[in-house]
Structure 1
Amino acid sequence: MTEEVIGREAAHAHLSRRNLLIGIALAGGAGIAYARQPAVANPVVPEKLFEAWVPPRFGRWDVISQSGVVLPPPDALSDRLYDNLVTRVYAAADRPPVMLLLAYNNAQDGVLQVHRPEFCYPVGGFELSETRDITFNAGGQSVPANIFTATAPNRVEQVAYFTRLGSSYPRKWSEQRLAVMRANLAGDIPDGMMMRVSALGIDRTQAQALLSDFSRQFIESANPRLQRLLLGRG
């Protein structure tokens, strides 16, 4: 065997060993990445079951309609953004009707995230006031929430809401994205829940008192499983 042939075979063997080592390293990296891939921790809630958890009446409040509530705008991801989307209008004697929207998705992965009302209302032709921080108190828990005024030519709506992602209650879109990123880095894909309540024909001061009290009664009267989705317990 000539020296030239021996040299070619040696080079080929060296190349094969190098390719093998690269292949092993890549496979190991892929295995580690797969093992650290965030996991969906919360099951999908069937639509009819979720709706059954929403009380038709509580305290002095009764459902009078399921329409008339401003909805998130449709888009290419609508069918995936919300596992559950429920609207109700409640009425009580001597109080303005309150419109309720509940939106839930079992997996918030950075691509699919619950729309915030500050995005939905302008799409519907509303002009928004500055959003102000408030707090809902329910079930012995303080929940960070927001309130703003949405104005259209024939409608002025006082809107309050909170969004829960995993164990966080982000008040801003940037906080919401950060909460998802932190959960994903910790190996978790959190669920997302939004509760929005609103009323017509009153000012923001009146609305804050009305909507805060309504929200407290609604959460405390809700099915325990819906209450856990709202408050993030269990």
Structure 2
Amino acid sequence: MNVSRFQIIVASAAILAAAVLAQVLMPRQLMARTSAAPSLDQIIPKQFGTWKLVPDISPITPPDPEGYVQPDPNGAKVYAQEVSRAYTDGQGNIVMFLVAYGPVQNYRLKAHRPEICYTAAGFRIDDKFGGSIKVKNGVPPIKVTRVVAERESRYEPISYWMRVGNDITTGVVDRQIVRLKYGLRGIIPDGALIRVSTVGLPRDAAFQLQDKFVHDILAAIPENELKFFTGSSS
């Protein structure tokens, strides 16, 4: 096949234009700098309503090959927070709660998704579907993803959602769309993954208990910090 000089010039120009456009559209502003994350350990209560902290029980987390300290594009160090706790409702039920924060969408945050971290821990993930949890009157429910993790005799229903910037996402595709939306505005969004799970209850009862826990703990978080968990819906 003969390729004319003109075609080579056009192709080269197209490649150069694409490279320039990629540089122009590259996100450069770190969202976390303009909306600093709160101290999760301080704003997430250890006791609220009928719920009390259960010591020595921690949710499953993945190994962390990159560590907590992540470099930003300008060489500064940005600290990613993680809170993992267990609570009891005083009636023998225990809910495990994990919040992972990333100032930049990176492996650390993505690795906490149950499909990744539970699989890495030897669990089988199935029964995946969508749901919603009511936060309070006048505020749209939070859209969540429900899955069930199983390993030998352990049966663990899980509800989770991810905040990317000011948006709530529940899947890989819509998360990429949201990231692209911010990228076109030159913004690198921060994000938080919020996950709750229970062991020892049937599926429907577990999700019902998780919904109550999420409602109660968000009601106990200061109003001015609620947006960190719920995005702009708060």
Letter in 1 for 2:146: I
- Say if 1:82 and 1:96 are closer, same or farther in 2 by CA, change over 3 A: farther
Does 2:110 match 1:114? Answer: yes
Offset from partner CA, 1:183-226 (integer Å, 9 cap, x none) = 11122111101110000111111111110111011111113354
SS state of the match for residue 194, structure 1? strand
Offset from partner CA, 1:1-20 (integer Å, 9 cap, x none) = xxxxxxxxxxxxxxxxxxxx
In structure 2, the residue matched to 1:83 is 80
In structure 2, the residue matched to 1:152 is 151
The structure carrying a bigger helix percent of its residues is: 1
Percent pairwise identity: 22
Letter in 1 for 2:179: V
Letter in 2 for 1:103: A
Give 5+ residue unaligned stretches, structure 1.
Answer: 1-25
Letter in 1 for 2:191: G
Distance 1:196 1:82 in 2: 20
Q: How many positions carry a matched residue from both structures?
A: 204
Moved more, 76-85 or 186-195: 76-85
Distance 1:111 1:92 in 2: 33
8 Å Cα contact 1:63-1:88 kept in structure 2: yes
Distance 1:67 1:56 in 2: 13
Letter in 1 for 2:208: A
- Say if 1:211 and 1:37 are closer, same or farther in 2 by CA, change over 3 A: closer
TM-score by length of 2: 0.76
Offset from partner CA, 1:74-109 (integer Å, 9 cap, x none) = 22365439711101100112251000000111223x
- Say if 1:226 and 1:88 are closer, same or farther in 2 by CA, change over 3 A: farther
SS state of the match for residue 86, structure 2? strand
Instruction: Give 1:135 deviation, angstroms.
Output: 0.3
Instruction: Give 1:167 deviation, angstroms.
Output: 2.7
Does 2:118 match 1:131? Answer: no
- Say if 1:37 and 1:156 are closer, same or farther in 2 by CA, change over 3 A: closer
- Say if 1:113 and 1:51 are closer, same or farther in 2 by CA, change over 3 A: closer
- Say if 1:131 and 1:218 are closer, same or farther in 2 by CA, change over 3 A: same
- Say if 1:130 and 1:74 are closer, same or farther in 2 by CA, change over 3 A: same
Moved more, 96-105 or 165-174: 165-174
Distance 1:175 1:37 in 2: 18
Give 5+ residue unaligned stretches, structure 2.
Answer: 1-16, 71-77
- Say if 1:132 and 1:74 are closer, same or farther in 2 by CA, change over 3 A: same
Distance 1:144 1:66 in 2: 30
Letter in 2 for 1:125: G
Instruction: Give 1:154 deviation, angstroms.
Output: 3.7
Distance 1:184 1:141 in 2: 26
- Say if 1:61 and 1:34 are closer, same or farther in 2 by CA, change over 3 A: same
- Say if 1:112 and 1:84 are closer, same or farther in 2 by CA, change over 3 A: closer
- Say if 1:118 and 1:216 are closer, same or farther in 2 by CA, change over 3 A: same
Instruction: Give 1:66 deviation, angstroms.
Output: 5.5
In structure 1, the residue matched to 2:175 is 176
Instruction: Give 1:114 deviation, angstroms.
Output: 3.1
TM-score by length of 1: 0.76
Does 2:65 match 1:68? Answer: no
User: How do 1:1-234 residues align onto structure 2 when only pairs under 5 Å count?
Assistant: 33=23, 37-43=27-33, 44-45=36-37, 49-65=39-55, 67-76=57-66, 79-80=69-70, 83-108=80-105, 113-115=109-111, 116-139=113-136, 140-233=139-232
| Superposed CA RMSD | 2.8
